[in-house]
Amino acid sequence: MTRRIKVLTSFVLVFAFVALGWQATEAQMRVNSAKVAKSSARNYIKQRVPEKAFEMLKIAVELKPEDPESNFMIGTFYADKEMLDEMNLHFEKAMSHKKGKKFWKKGMRLVGASDFLLGGIWYTKETLWTRYFNIGVRALNAQSFDDALNEFSMARKVDPDRADTYKATGKVYMAMDSLDTAIDFYQKALGIDSSMVEAHADIGIGLLNHQRYEESIPHLMSASELAPTNISIIKALASAQWLAKDVEGAVKSAEKALEVNPEDPKVLSLVGGIFTEMKDFEKAVQYLEQAMEKEPDNADTVFNLANAYLGKGNLEKAAGLFTKSLENNPDDHQALYQLGSIYDKSKKYDEAISTFQKVVDLKPQFARGWDALYKAYAHKSAATEGEEAREAAKKAEEALNMANALGGGE
């Protein structure tokens, strides 16, 4: 009995020695053989034990850093983990090797392999880029700007050469009213693809909205050259040129807009407004009447048409249109000022005084408003007698003092 126990004990010791010896050998092979580490990774992939496969691949690339296959394989694991810097590092190493270029469009056929490992580098990057980009677009549309910026940043890490990502980032900053930062990203997009109409247009319109008219013109011209029938771009260009005092350019762009869409009421209104400013009131009325037929409640059209009739000397028509304009916006001090001027010219002094008083109530620093109020009171004083004339003269002096105090005010 005692002998059997000894034999059994010896067997256990032998087994333990063999087991420990095998483990030591495996550990030694892990440390010293990249080939065995990569082979073990393949086996773990087949067995669907990805974390162990990942550990083996880390050993493989540590022992043989330039091996294209190991770098490709571990790159796909980092892609699954969304560790993009590491993914890019190993994909670059794989692609830098002659034998690694095949992994661009072709992955590895292994049982248990991930989609990225099966699909190759291009597929992996395209899938990740599309994922981040689409999530970013949804966040932008939901006005979750920080989330959008984060997703677009991830998309740029995946593929730094995609113009769409920079353009989309520009849109986020534009929505956040960070114009110069937005322009930087749009310019990066254009550096990759100079034919991006939307990037040129967004920069131009952004600058136009920030009253940087001269800066906006080259971008809008580039957009217009790339999309010559885009009516929105042409209208923006005409507006920028006009506001930058490039009258000839504005007229040319406005005429081009008419060629593209002669029935567009906004184009007709824009052209009419330009001719009003040029004091070509006949042409202005012609285009603005057409615009008003199509959009009778467009406030800009009504206001511009009123100014055009005022320029023609048709005070009655102008007064009616300014009154209509004020129905839409009772606090429009410009319309009130023009209407008051018409009342004053028509010798309706009480109406003029009442209207100019509204102007200075709305805009207390508006020197021309006080000056107009002074003149209306002075005219009334000259046209009346007695106490009424004296009271009007007193009010006229008060208004004149305010106008002089403000000097070259608003």
Q: Domain containing 335 — which CATH number?
A: 1.25.40.10
pLDDT, tens digit, 9 for 90 and up, residues 353-364: 999 999 999 999
Sign of CA dihedral 291, 297, 302, 304: negative
C-alpha triplet 224, 225, 228: angle, nearest 5°: 60
Distance (Å, rounded) from C-alpha 306 to C-alpha 315? 9
- What pLDDT sits at residue 233? 96
Q: To the nearest whole percent, how much of the chain has pLDDT over 70?
A: 92
Task: Identify whether residues 300 and 348 lie together within a single domain.
Answer: no
**What pLDDT is attached to residue 282?**
94
**Cα angle value 124/130/133 (rounded, 5°):** 135
Q: Is 321 a member of any domain?
A: no
223-270: per-residue pLDDT in tens? 999 999 999 999 999 999 999 999 899 999 988 999 998 999 988 998
Instruction: State pLDDT tens for residues 393-403.
Output: 999 999 999 99
Q: Is residue 102 part of a domain?
A: no
Number of domains in the chain: 2
Count of helices and strands (H, E) across the chain: 22, 0
Identify the domain containing residue 386 by its residue range.
330-410
Q: Is residue 358 part of a domain?
A: yes
- Range with lowest mean pLDDT among 118-132, 138-152, 234-248: 234-248
Given pLDDT bands bounded at 50, 70 and 90, which one contains residue 37? very high
User: Taking 50 as the threshold, does the pLDDT of residue 409 lie above it?
Assistant: no
- Give the closest residue to 371 by CA, choosing from 323, 405, 332, 322: 405
Domain assignment present for 137: no
Sign of CA dihedral 367, 373, 376, 382: negative
Asked if the model's pLDDT at residue 11 lies above 50, the reply is: no
